[in-house]
Structure 1
């Protein structure tokens, strides 16, 4: 028996010497061969078999003719499509074609169905073999034709013709399309054009388009602009308005909004009130809250976590290590000790003068870490840890940048002082904290000498309020709460993330406070809802189908600000229609609203979160980079791009600036203490003076990281009537632009810039992924500030406490930043810690050079005794210190920065270090006949 299904070609009859052979080709490796038949019989059988074989193939094709014709027409249409061949449109057809191919097309024999039909079948089969390439070809053809077809529309939809990138973003219509719209790249024009194009081209009806914005005024502006530009009445809505409408449609009524839902200040005040009430009402919770403020408010890093003194001191200054008693201490471990003493009612002094006068012997006055005022007990905390030695013993070691031998010698000296003067010294050590017994050990050591009198929780909390520490913590709690609700997190998940990301005891202490605060917050909502509830409730209605979405195109503005809950709502709406699309416009470089719940992960993983599926690939999407700014000149645009891309997690984008600057466009003006107002006036005077007569008054935007930085605007406007002056916080300035931007108080510190508060690593507990790059969001805030400027950007920064961002901009030539100072000054590195030596004016009118970390590093040098202005520096490879004025001095043999000057002692004249008594370096005075010539000096350089 021969199955017609197995025959792969017409049978062949051949005459041979031993009779006729009939071969029937099949799918098997060997053809079926029949021998010995007469030729006429074999020929008749062959023709009959051929006819049956052809009829069999044609009959099979005829049974699926309608399906095949649809498929073939779709494949042909894909070569010149009339609609963008999005994955959601083509994917079902691929599945259908593969099913038909497996069941029929792969089994049809070309010779049986004829050359014309065989060619048509081959078209479909080629598509099945490589649908991705076929779709890519269709997309290219469609985009090319559509750009030409709608050229007049793109030329006239806005006041200026759309750019090539903007046109492409409008025409592209993938399952999920992400338009990367940098600062000043015309994103509003793109959304306006997209909405109008969808309706005018007949792709969608107005009611099938959902325009989403984050702010009410942005939504209103977008609605007006779309209708004005296109004549199409499409109402843009905020996420909250949409969610509220969905709830109303499904539930028949809309629940009342919480009073604080639309008021950030009221929200923060509610959190503050909850904290206050919990302290006064619940003992376990109140203890957790007090423990947070006493021991975990700042990051618990010590000198062991840093490689250099400069890094350590910079960290300390950013943390503001202020005790409950109110003084600033010099390490986290000292902070723990001080706060434990305060909690337990033990009165103390921090770094008091030792009660006995000591023989100088070249040392500074002795100031122990703590003195207990009632008992007279002294406490010294030593920064040493224990290290195992090869022989099984142990030795004490210091932090990487601390001279171990010198430090241990200092410990011995302090012990000897107390022994000699019969004062009681209690010692604590860094290794005790490392072993988790610093405070319990301290309690045991103090037990024979003091009686603990723990202060009431309310008393301690009132003290925390006086220190203004509750406000910033309430903001952190509020941000965490919003992200916690928005992302649908649980406390168990947060605890697991804490373990995974090694956030330690601080994260546990935070969650111990957050859990009761969150529980109380939910109670106080009563029957009302907040915005997070609103979005999540609407999302659930869409997910379950209780809300039937009419929307097939969802256009989202400012997509970088989207939160987990908003993303969930968008996904739920999209999932209701197989052909629904998302068109998102945003800039991950401007994602600066984490405190309001935004999650940059959603934009960085746009395809995974919102994309479609095609040919086995998931996350199918299209990204279009607008790649152009209509705002900033080249120097600002390029510097801002370089600055933000230091974080490798940011999406790369090309920037084409608005113009070319002929003079330095970015300037940094360093200010001395209490000089900010004067320097700002000088900057504004310079801008005002450059305005040509009769020209329109230039706009000047003053920016600050915080509201409290706003200067007296009424006074400034009166001083500079030729300027149009405005003040905004950087966050409030987003979307604005000005001819000139002045960034105020770009300084370091906990409430500096970068802010140490908003970038708290605890927020990673409620983020899909951590942002490991230091100050990631604050770097984006700086980018927003920089890109508000069209022509010039001026940054005012403290000379003694400049922002790390300012230091970076000044230090690296690639940024092209011009530093403006009263006179050209060279930056000098502090030999003691690696910080900067700053030029300061002493009370005596003399010039000195002091380390920027004055609170921690005591390096202080006089100016050159010869010129009284410059700082002599050591000449490499020599024992000399040379000043730019030409004066030369012997280098100090003991320290890096000092030099020797003539001094008088009990045994006559000698050479001593200018840093005495901090440094006791000295040398013998050379004999007169061999003494080198000295420069003329104004004094002996004594301190």
Structure 2
């Protein structure tokens, strides 16, 4: 039995037959010796106790130096001299647990005595509950450090730092994320952090890497740090540090490609590569032509949508332009037209039928296609085949199409051709669904038409002429840059395409992209582009070819970080166990996804950059600056509420810069053609409200797009007391003004939110898209709102206000000021669910036209009585009523129309105002006039 195995000192118990001696051991069950002489038993027990105590103390003495080091570290946590970050305390915890496991847990308190037991107790407690010990140490350190550096925080900037800013400076976790909302003073935080690290002796200037995204931001930061603190720390862009790393490893810096800094030169290079590949007349040229002919636009049809409105909205976002040059109404028509063009079959799109069809109330019949040489007509029918329960087959239409009416229209067209003995070739949506639309068309045309395929280079010249190459080259270029910067492979893209079910279009695109990328890499000829720069530097850091001197990495505008930049930061952090990442950003202002920024890196900051402590990964600290030095309460709170409608945004508290004494946010409705006049009115009001002795107020005009910039020289001449500037919202980040005016907050393709959707192909090389609708556009709106100090004025179309404006107006929580009656009543189109918009016709009258002009064509006159408003169906009645008081009989055929008196060959009758689109009619009972109620009074709107 070994001394190490004893669990307590031997015990003696006197009895009638002598003394019983019991020994407790881990190795055996308790051993009891009975009937011993008491004196002998006592002497033996004392000898065992002495040996046992000596053994325990000797074991402890062997580890005395290690114990002293660990104990000193644990006791120092009571008043730490440095922030007890995970990376700093983790080695102490590992050592404490190792010693506890190998020795301390095996020592017996009785054997070593109370003094020694008390000495090792702090180490054992720390090993058991290190998180509490570290948390208490952090609290103690932060309180003391804030007090110790109070004078520094009071004077480092022109105004004393806020409590939140001070906290962010002294917190020094493995990874620290500072949530810096708009106008919260993030630059002050970075400046103070860099100066503090050096002045506190935590780091030498050369151990600090200060990273910015733009060259001018880096220069400004360097100047500010040195001016405020006297500490010479050079801020660098990601590209600059990457270029330096490459130079150190390779001995010299490779030449930068000419197109790296010139977007136009880059796009022209892609265009030239495409052209050269086509003219080689290889399989690649065929793949390129096939993509342009059949996959240039997203191949969605009416079957992919639940409503006409959704379908029409999608179609309007696509430019369904054929190789011949006309715009068609569906993707399947585009496929047919381009196949005809490729194969040299001359055609007309939607010609008027060559025979006059007897009066039917319909518009002139226009078949989809007429082949000019043969006179054959092609009609493409949007029907699919469906099996019924009894096994029979029936034709069905898209969800929002009236099946019976559509099938009747198909029969009518067949009869027209049969009566006039013209040849009709029919194609169907189910043929495309089954993958044989074009092969089927070729078979049907074979008896009538000889194909004469156009040469590939001829078709490509036509594509260039239509300027389709320009946009496609930009798409290819954007894809290429994202592909390289994200470190993707073609296999990655193919796998993601399968997962996202992007189908044949993605495969056709990758068939073009692969040879373009290969050729692009060849043409670099040893030079380097910006994407190579960061990835090569990250690789050198990951493999240890570059040894980093940096122990603190400070990153500005962290919400804009991309996967490749994050990879570089992680590689530099991994080189040394004590490297800290200090990131400052605002996920509410993440608006550069198109440039590769990945908001998920910020939302999962701990997982991506955090440390490890007590078997917990992702250890990090988040500090919310909260306070804004810019916007008054109404603007700050409205902007916060607006952006947080997306539940994925990180919630932050806001302390506004001041209290507004009058409405700070206004929506001004603008009628068609009044944009300039309304802007002048708003500027005039701002100028007039200024006190005579006041210095000029700053006014920032913001637009979602550059092209809506107004006449700035003219505005500056007219309003000399205002300092007026214009920026796109993206370019306005970091700026502020007394007053902000947001222009053209309208709905539409180039409205705000923008309805120009990124091509789905870019999702193959982009961060995962956020599920919340308009997630990034909502953040763009937040950026626009928070540029304003005192007032925000939003100019929005009276007829087509954006969904953002509608939301701001409807929710009283936003406290938006709107002129009485300024918000127009929304009229929904009964034909497709879009909006009916008021327009002035060539006759000077007001008409209400569906927003989906090309597809829907619903057109209604204004009320005949007042001439301005639109009569609408009155709930529970057979009347259509106008707000002016007039009422009319409802049309029995359509949802929007009403009946007015008309004259026909059989006399007067009631006909729909939408004639000839709608042929609804009714008789005039007993020769009476229609039941039309005159208005009580005329009302202008």
For the criterion TM > 0.5, the same-fold answer is yes
Contact 1:685 1:720 in 2 (8 A): yes
Match of 2:564?
565
TM-score when normalising by structure 2: 0.94
Distance in 1 (alpha carbons) for counterparts of 2:932 and 2:487 = 78
- Indicate the RMSD between aligned Cα atoms, in angstroms: 2.6
Match of 2:657?
658
Match of 1:84?
83
Of stretches 655-664 and 146-155 in structure 1, the one that deviates more from structure 2 is 655-664
Match of 1:693?
692
Q: Does 1:202 pair with 2:201?
A: yes
Match of 2:610?
611
Match of 2:107?
108
Distance in 1 (alpha carbons) for counterparts of 2:718 and 2:448 = 64
Of stretches 643-652 and 345-354 in structure 1, the one that deviates more from structure 2 is 643-652
Contact 2:798 2:823 in 1 (8 A): no
Contact 2:798 2:822 in 1 (8 A): no
Distance in 2 (alpha carbons) for counterparts of 1:505 and 1:804 = 34
Give the drift of 1:167. Answer: 1.5
Match of 1:760?
759
Q: Does 1:44 pair with 2:43?
A: yes
Give the drift of 1:90. Answer: 1.2
Of stretches 715-724 and 52-61 in structure 1, the one that deviates more from structure 2 is 715-724
Q: Does 1:369 pair with 2:362?
A: no
Distance in 1 (alpha carbons) for counterparts of 2:280 and 2:643 = 47
Q: Deviations over 1:879-938 (max 9, x none)?
A: 222221222222222222222222233333332222222222222323478986732799
Match of 2:293?
294
Distance in 2 (alpha carbons) for counterparts of 1:320 and 1:462 = 19
Which secondary structure state, in structure 1, belongs to the residue aligned with residue 463 of structure 2? helix
- Assess, with a 3 A threshold, how the Cα gap between structure 1 residues 196 and 253 changes in structure 2: closer, same or farther: same
Match of 1:525?
524
- Assess, with a 3 A threshold, how the Cα gap between structure 1 residues 502 and 931 changes in structure 2: closer, same or farther: closer
Which secondary structure state, in structure 2, belongs to the residue aligned with residue 191 of structure 1? helix
Contact 1:319 1:750 in 2 (8 A): no
Distance in 1 (alpha carbons) for counterparts of 2:621 and 2:41 = 62
Match of 2:923?
924
Of stretches 754-763 and 627-636 in structure 1, the one that deviates more from structure 2 is 754-763
Q: How does 1:462-611 map to 2 (within 5 A)?
A: 462-611=461-610
Q: Deviations over 1:268-315 (max 9, x none)?
A: 232233223323334322332233233222222111111111111111
Give the drift of 1:778. Answer: 3.5
Which secondary structure state, in structure 1, belongs to the residue aligned with residue 39 of structure 2? helix
Distance in 2 (alpha carbons) for counterparts of 1:275 and 1:670 = 47
Give the drift of 1:538. Answer: 2.0
Structure 2 gaps of 5+ residues are none
Contact 1:875 1:882 in 2 (8 A): yes
Match of 1:153?
152
Q: Does 1:281 pair with 2:280?
A: yes
Which secondary structure state, in structure 1, belongs to the residue aligned with residue 724 of structure 2? strand
Match of 2:31?
32
Match of 1:740?
739
Contact 2:613 2:619 in 1 (8 A): yes
Match of 2:423?
424
Distance in 1 (alpha carbons) for counterparts of 2:295 and 2:930 = 59
Which secondary structure state, in structure 2, belongs to the residue aligned with residue 368 of structure 1? coil
Contact 1:23 1:34 in 2 (8 A): yes
Q: How does 1:852-863 map to 2 (within 5 A)?
A: 852-863=851-862
Distance in 2 (alpha carbons) for counterparts of 1:72 and 1:158 = 41
- Assess, with a 3 A threshold, how the Cα gap between structure 1 residues 342 and 783 changes in structure 2: closer, same or farther: farther
Give the drift of 1:212. Answer: 0.9
Contact 2:889 2:931 in 1 (8 A): no
Contact 1:799 1:838 in 2 (8 A): no
Distance in 2 (alpha carbons) for counterparts of 1:672 and 1:708 = 19
Match of 2:343?
344
Contact 1:320 1:750 in 2 (8 A): no
Give the drift of 1:197. Answer: 0.9
Distance in 2 (alpha carbons) for counterparts of 1:931 and 1:480 = 63
Match of 2:394?
395
Distance in 1 (alpha carbons) for counterparts of 2:869 and 2:712 = 38
Contact 2:884 2:937 in 1 (8 A): no
Distance in 2 (alpha carbons) for counterparts of 1:382 and 1:473 = 30
- Assess, with a 3 A threshold, how the Cα gap between structure 1 residues 883 and 936 changes in structure 2: closer, same or farther: closer
Give the drift of 1:114. Answer: 1.8
Distance in 2 (alpha carbons) for counterparts of 1:284 and 1:338 = 23
Match of 1:884?
883
Match of 2:332?
333
Match of 1:826?
825
Give the drift of 1:38. Answer: 1.2
- Assess, with a 3 A threshold, how the Cα gap between structure 1 residues 372 and 705 changes in structure 2: closer, same or farther: farther
- Assess, with a 3 A threshold, how the Cα gap between structure 1 residues 677 and 235 changes in structure 2: closer, same or farther: same
Give the drift of 1:415. Answer: 1.3
Contact 2:636 2:786 in 1 (8 A): yes
Q: Does 1:634 pair with 2:614?
A: no
Contact 2:736 2:787 in 1 (8 A): yes
- Assess, with a 3 A threshold, how the Cα gap between structure 1 residues 752 and 281 changes in structure 2: closer, same or farther: farther
Distance in 1 (alpha carbons) for counterparts of 2:540 and 2:91 = 27
Q: Does 1:181 pair with 2:180?
A: yes
Contact 1:476 1:757 in 2 (8 A): no
Distance in 2 (alpha carbons) for counterparts of 1:696 and 1:213 = 34
TM-score when normalising by structure 1: 0.94
Contact 1:631 1:658 in 2 (8 A): yes
Contact 2:254 2:528 in 1 (8 A): yes
Q: Deviations over 1:45-97 (max 9, x none)?
A: 11221111111111111110111111111111123221111111111221211
Contact 2:348 2:372 in 1 (8 A): yes
- Assess, with a 3 A threshold, how the Cα gap between structure 1 residues 757 and 890 changes in structure 2: closer, same or farther: closer
Q: Deviations over 1:395-426 (max 9, x none)?
A: 11111111111111111111111212222222
- Assess, with a 3 A threshold, how the Cα gap between structure 1 residues 664 and 507 changes in structure 2: closer, same or farther: farther
Q: Deviations over 1:358-412 (max 9, x none)?
A: 2233222222222223332222221111111011111111111111111111111
- Assess, with a 3 A threshold, how the Cα gap between structure 1 residues 793 and 385 changes in structure 2: closer, same or farther: farther
Which secondary structure state, in structure 1, belongs to the residue aligned with residue 925 of structure 2? coil
Distance in 2 (alpha carbons) for counterparts of 1:686 and 1:91 = 62
Distance in 1 (alpha carbons) for counterparts of 2:173 and 2:599 = 22
- Assess, with a 3 A threshold, how the Cα gap between structure 1 residues 900 and 930 changes in structure 2: closer, same or farther: closer
Contact 2:281 2:456 in 1 (8 A): no
Give the drift of 1:534. Answer: 1.8
Give the drift of 1:768. Answer: 5.2
Distance in 1 (alpha carbons) for counterparts of 2:659 and 2:467 = 46
Give the drift of 1:528. Answer: 1.0
Distance in 2 (alpha carbons) for counterparts of 1:437 and 1:552 = 62
Contact 1:310 1:835 in 2 (8 A): yes
Give the drift of 1:762. Answer: 2.0
Give the drift of 1:786. Answer: 2.9
Q: Does 1:17 pair with 2:22?
A: no
Distance in 1 (alpha carbons) for counterparts of 2:535 and 2:821 = 57
Distance in 1 (alpha carbons) for counterparts of 2:453 and 2:681 = 54
Which secondary structure state, in structure 1, belongs to the residue aligned with residue 370 of structure 2? strand
Which secondary structure state, in structure 1, belongs to the residue aligned with residue 77 of structure 2? helix
Match of 1:711?
710
Match of 1:787?
786
- Assess, with a 3 A threshold, how the Cα gap between structure 1 residues 765 and 866 changes in structure 2: closer, same or farther: same
Which secondary structure state, in structure 2, belongs to the residue aligned with residue 828 of structure 1? coil
Match of 2:874?
875
Q: Does 1:434 pair with 2:433?
A: yes
Give the drift of 1:753. Answer: 4.4
